[in-house]
Amino acid sequence: MAGQKHYLDDNDMEEPPSVSPFMPMFEAFRNELDEHQDRRERIIKASRDITALSKKIIFSLQRVRNLHSPIPPPIAKEVNARYDSIKDLFISIGPDLQGINFWRYQRQISGGCQEYVEAISFQHYLETQSLMTHQEAQDLIPGGVELTADDYVLGLFDLTGELMRFGITSMATNGTLPRGVAAEGGDSEGRDILMDLRAIRTSFESLDTSSGSSDWSYLKKDIGKKTVVMRESVEKVENAVYGMIVRGRERPKGWVPDLSEGHEGGMKAVESF
């Protein structure tokens, strides 16, 4: 009937929807995924910062001109400050890389570890003319962050490129191939950097990663490309030494470039090799 009011009683009131018993479980899943994403982003950022600082260390070390000797104090001061920053970064992400989480986020921190190994092994070689062992590299990584064998080996692959640059730069500036000091009771001259590069190349070429072990999974994935680059680095030093020796012998002793056109002043005589 038009205009008739209808009053609701208690039986007509709708009951509030009941909370699903699965809601707490999915809220826990949401919180876990949020923590995972935050943890992953922290590790990625730290890895990028470690990579950038390690590259700056390498750039500073490339200014060294003597092999098998202490790093000059001005350069040592620069690299030590950056090492301190890298150690702080490792410590900051150490809790995120404990237990099973280390393997969960290993690929996120891998790039930073490889670049760091390249930097510390380059300094170790300049000071001692020897390769840093896996344990020595692990001891320089604080925060309980583990250094895998894959990251250690791949970092040494990258080291050959820095040794190539160091050798060619020294030849361009000093006219000689970097050479270490002779061992007591040994040869009259120490090993040069080309001898060390050839020894590293031989060792890497004998490395067998063809087995089906999962421990070599990432190494097998990256080793092909890095092996090509490593061989090219050694060949560049070989070609540079060849050119230095051959061209040096073709020049008579006391040869100087022609400075008659547009140049003033003289130059010191260039010794033949």
Q: What percent of the chain has pLDDT over 90?
A: 58
Q: Under 8 Å CB-to-CB from 42, ≥6 apart: which residues?
A: 92, 93, 96
In this structure, what DSSP letter does residue 140 have? T
Q: In the prediction, which pLDDT does 21 show?
A: 78
Give tens-digit pLDDT for 199-238.
999 999 988 776 655 555 567 778 888 999 999 999 999 9
Q: Tokens for 28?
A: 């826990």
- Considering only residues 254 and 242, tell me which one the structure prediction assigns the higher pLDDT: 242
pTM: 0.80
- Answer yes or no: are the C-beta atoms of 105 and 69 closer than 8 Å: no
Give the model's confidence band at 194: pLDDT under 50 very low, under 70 low, under 90 confident, else very high: very high
- Other Cβ atoms less than 10 A from the Cβ of 17: the count is 6
User: Which residue type occupies 194?
Assistant: L
Mean pLDDT score across all residues of the chain: 84
Q: In the prediction, which pLDDT does 224 show?
A: 85
Range 119-128 average pLDDT: 97
Q: In the prediction, which pLDDT does 28 show?
A: 78
Q: For residues 145 and 226, what is the distance between their CA atoms, to the nearest angstrom?
A: 25
Alpha-carbon distance values, 54 to 60, 117, 246 (Å): 10, 9, 37
On the question of pLDDT at 268 being above 50, the answer is no
Give the lowest-confidence range in 6-20, 28-42, 126-140, 143-157.
Answer: 6-20
Q: Tokens for 105?
A: 């986020």
Of the candidates 217, 113, 117, the one whose C-alpha atom is nearest the C-alpha of residue 159 is 117
- Considering only residues 185 and 269, tell me which one the structure prediction assigns the higher pLDDT: 185
Q: Under 8 Å CB-to-CB from 231, ≥6 apart: which residues?
A: 201
Give the lowest-confidence range in 84-98, 122-136, 197-211.
Answer: 197-211
Give tens-digit pLDDT for 141-179.
999 999 999 999 999 999 999 999 999 998 888 878 888
Q: For residues 147 and 139, what is the distance between their CA atoms, to the nearest angstrom?
A: 9
Of the candidates 221, 239, 190, the one whose C-alpha atom is nearest the C-alpha of residue 110 is 221
Give tens-digit pLDDT for 30-51.
788 888 899 999 999 999 999 9
Q: Cα angle vertex 97, ends 89, 45, to 5°?
A: 40
